[in-house]
A and B are shown apart, each in its own frame.
Chain A
Amino acid sequence: MDIKIQVENLKIFFDKNEVLKGVSIDVYRNRITGFMGPAGSGKSTLISAFNRMIDFEEDVKIEGKIYIDGVDIINGDIDGVSLRRQIGTVFAVPIPLPRSVFDNIAYGPRLKGITDKTELNELVRDSLKKAFLWDEMKDRLSMSALKLSGGQQQRLCLARSLALKPEIILLDEPCSGLDPISTAKIEDALNELKKEFTIILVSNNTKQIARISDYSAFFYMGELIEYGPTERVFTFPSQKQTEDYISGKFG
């Protein structure tokens, strides 16, 4: 199977705090990989290293290697801007930019220099369709994105990251603030999207990980405790901690 992201002995320090303690993991192409673990386990820090958003934090030190398609993104000379064109990110809270639905989605493509009206129209339509939002939005493209419901806003954020035509999509607890119906819509969209993209889903919700991810990784206190096909991890966890976590004993 095809490896998309390869992490080798990654250590991340905030100030002098070791937040990630030598993590190695392979993330596969066209699969949904679930990262789970209690708060402070380092799972969100890890994905913020994938898109180098971690560079915006203060006093960070990174050791180890991350390869994306074989390119070292920690020590190589790839810049954050080009990296984030390949990696779409959806955050825990939907954060629409204070502008219209259309302009939210066109934000990324315009940064890439796309100004052609028909091309932008197409991109916006495709992205909204992929995020299962087109039917609701097709007549309201010029409406302010701030007026959408929370679930719609989060799918808008998903569509917005798709419009950059990335290869990888990172979702950092995207459903934490959403109701079950909105959550189901996002999960449906992700199941379709994995045909085209490599998806990493960070979640505290073990049931969600079990439902939709192909591979599951369990993090605890900055270490990767267990990683494997979701079915195996959830039915025969090899570590006691994993078992305790997925059975809800802590977390």
Chain B
Amino acid sequence: MRINPRIIDKAVKVGLTSQAFFTVGILVAIIAVIFFKGFPNINMEFIFSFPEDMGRHGGIFPSIVGTILIALLSILLATPLGVGTAIYLTEYTKESRLTKIIRFGVESLAGIPSILYGLFGFIFFVIKLKMGWSLLAGVLTLTIMILPTIIRTSEEAIKAVPRNLRIVSYSLSATKWETVAKVVLPSAFPGILTGIMLSVGRAVGETAATIFTMGSSLRLPTSLMDSGRTLAVHFYILAREGISMEKAYATALVLVLSILSINIIAYYIMNKVISKYS
């Protein structure tokens, strides 16, 4: 017996549609669970007070500060390095064996899992360079980890700037760097910003690479050499050691909300760019 192809067609359409919505349903379910379980336990005091008794009571203020510091500082280091690399690859060289090697390096860095960044940061920054578990070791490790994302998104953004604009700038007696700084980078800026935002999201949510480099001290980090505990690490310890489910959910909510808003802003910027060029 042969089934009518049109019926198969309809069935496939229903099947694929339901799978796509099922997948979105997973996202919605994750956010909903975190939101409904976390929301009752969140208040201003939770955000702005220090943890007590390993986090069983009190708030998460030091972790919020630690997270902001590590994300901000690693972005501050990775952005010039990454955008600089992207400029070099797109504006200053032709495609050659050298650029292939650099691109291979960037791709390889992008593929290394975060636990290996943790392992490297631990042996190199913490032990060999004697930084100890510190904000600095965490920042340097995350800088390397987010570098490939910034390079790739910046490269895409720079490549999307029309060649004509460069030609006009040169014809008006601009040098290469003047053209890059005054014409190319401003036009590519929204795209670069998207990459930066996505990297911030990654840095905020990272655990494996930060726990072995920045450590997990519950105190407020006040210098680069202080250890500290990011929100993600704090959440991990609360959940894994079963310290407090209420606090774990509340911490997860802060973590997920901040990452989601960062990502949504990034997509918003990206969409503006896409509609501008098309």
Contact = CB atoms under 8 A, between A and B. Distances in A.
Instruction: Indicate the size class of the contact surface on chain B.
Output: 10 to 19
B167 A95 contact: yes
Contacts of B174: 81, 107, 111
B171 A89 contact: yes
A192 B169 CA distance: 26
B24 to A, nearest CB: 36
A171 B171 CA distance: 12
Contacts, number: 52
Interface string B179-195: 00011001100000000
Contacts of B182: 107
A84 B172 contact: yes
The main secondary structure of chain A at its interface with chain B is helix
A95 B167 CA distance: 9
Contacts of B169: 97, 107
Nearest to A96: B168
B170 A84 contact: yes
Most chain A C-beta atoms within 10 Å of own C-beta, residue among B164, B169, B172, B182: B172
Interface in B142-179: 164-165, 167-175, 178
A147 interface: no
Contact of B172 (A56, A58, A93, A111): A111
5 contacts: A82-B173, A93-B164, A107-B169, A111-B172, A161-B171
A88 B168 CA distance: 10
Contacts of B178: 111
Interface of B: 94, 164-165, 167-175, 178, 182-183, 186-187
A98 interface: yes
Interface in A75-94: 80-82, 84-85, 88-89, 91, 93
Interface residues of A, number: 24
A53 B172 CA distance: 11
B171 A97 contact: no
A84 B171 contact: yes
Given A58-B94, A111-B178, A85 B165 contact: no
Contacts of B172: 84, 107-108, 111, 160-161, 164
